[in-house]
């Protein structure tokens, strides 16, 4: 039987959890789980089958997940699930560990989680269980949520380019409203799409397809930022390139799900945009130089031709 474990040391800010009993160690985003992520000097692009890293200068919109993407909320979900599952006797009352949470819970839709954990429970009991767990999350989350590192700067960059923005989440409406309000983003997004209000939630593409429709964008005109394999698979199924933010999941899991690049936080996206801008400027300058060189060569050739004609006419 797995033993309790501190959830993914190196994932999220410890300052959020100082008052928790049985403290959970978090330090976002500098821990061992992120050491596999290479520096932005050599962008952490994934295998070609996962799609090319999009040029951020050419996109027209960004679609954000919320839990674990805008804010490091997984520790709160982990704590709520750990407590309530122990109370109902799951795993004979022993607390779930971080590996179980990442594999079976993180990023998934509540009805799917409850059905997998309690296949013999009636639907009414599963629903009551999920509602109680989410209430516990909300009780903890209101004053503890903070924006991911670099998020404010990245949002300012989006504003400077007049890009479209939507939030797309599997969280229930109560959680969504609380998180966006706590992050002072409750009026920021042009559209907020809830998986529970779509025909199918993530990992199906429906929530992202709906967000694209609401923003009037084609899949190739947008990018998605996600932290869970279910969310990455939803983005990929919708045909939208997806950046995987390593706030909680094993980077290898996000790669396997199909993300085109891993980032530690939003500072990495800003570095990527800066790098792509520098590359673009260099390419433009090279093209201008080649054009000027070609023009000078053509003019020189024309002058030589005129001289030759003058010599012949003599």
Active site residues: 65, 67
**What is the C-alpha to C-alpha distance for residues 1 and 31, in angstroms, rounded to an integer?**
26
Chain center to CA of 273: 16
- Which pairs from 237-240 meet CB under 8 Å and 24+ separation? 237/203, 237/204, 237/205, 237/208, 238/205, 238/208, 238/209, 238/212, 239/205, 240/63, 240/208, 240/212
Task: Give counts: helices (H), strands (E), the chain.
Answer: 10, 6
- The tally of CA atoms less than 13 A away on the side-chain side of residue 18 is 3
- Going by the DSSP 8-state scheme, the letter that residue 279 receives in this structure is H
Task: Name the phi and psi angles at 39, rounded to 5.
Answer: -70, 160
Helix, strand, coil shares of the chain, percent, nearest 5, are 50, 10, 40
Q: Are 56 and 276 in contact (CB under 8 A)?
A: yes
| β-bridge partners, 262 | 244
Taking a C-beta distance cutoff of 8 angstroms, is the pair 207, 195 a contact?
A: yes
**How many whole angstroms separate alpha carbon 149 and alpha carbon 267?**
7
Cα–Cα distance for residue pair 71/202, rounded to 1 Å: 19
Count the Cβ atoms, other than its own, within 10 Å of residue 79: 21
Closest CA to 222 of 15, 79, 59: 59
């Amino acid at each position: 039987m797995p033993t309790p474990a501190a959830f993914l040391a190196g994932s999220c800010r410890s300052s959020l959890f100082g008052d928790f009993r049985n403290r959970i160690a978090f330090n976002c985003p500098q821990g061992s789980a992120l050491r596999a992520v290479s520096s932005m000097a050599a962008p952490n692009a994934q295998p070609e089958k996962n799609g090319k890293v999009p040029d951020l200068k050419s996109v027209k919109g960004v679609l954000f997940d919320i839990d674990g993407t805008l804010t490091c909320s997984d520790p709160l979900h982990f704590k709520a699930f750990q407590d309530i599952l122990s109370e109902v006797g799951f795993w004979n009352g022993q607390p779930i560990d971080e590996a179980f949470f990442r594999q079976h819970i993180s990023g998934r839709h509540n009805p799917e989680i409850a059905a997998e954990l309690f296949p013999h429970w009636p639907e009414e009991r599963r629903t009551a269980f999920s509602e109680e767990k989410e209430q516990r999350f909300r009780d903890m989350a209101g004053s503890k949520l903070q924006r991911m590192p670099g998020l404010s700067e990245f949002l300012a960059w989006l504003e400077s380019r007049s890009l479209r923005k939507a939030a797309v989440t599997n969280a229930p409406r109560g959680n969504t409203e609380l998180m966006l309000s706590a992050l002072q983003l409750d009026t920021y997004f042009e559209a907020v799409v809830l998986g529970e209000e779509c025909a199918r939630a993530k990992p199906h593409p429906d929530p992202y397809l709906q967000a694209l429709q609401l923003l009037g964008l084609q899949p190739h005109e947008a990018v998605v930022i996600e932290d869970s394999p279910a969310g990455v698979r939803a983005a990929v199924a919708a045909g939208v390139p997806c950046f995987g933010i390593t706030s909680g999941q094993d980077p290898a899991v996000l790669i396997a799900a199909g993300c085109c690049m891993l980032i530690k936080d939003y500072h990495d996206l800003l570095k990527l945009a800066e790098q792509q801008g520098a590359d673009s400027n260099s390419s433009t300058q090279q093209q201008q130089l080649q054009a000027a060189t070609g023009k000078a060569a053509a003019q020189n050739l024309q002058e030589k031709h005129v001289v030759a004609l003058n010599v012949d006419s003599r």
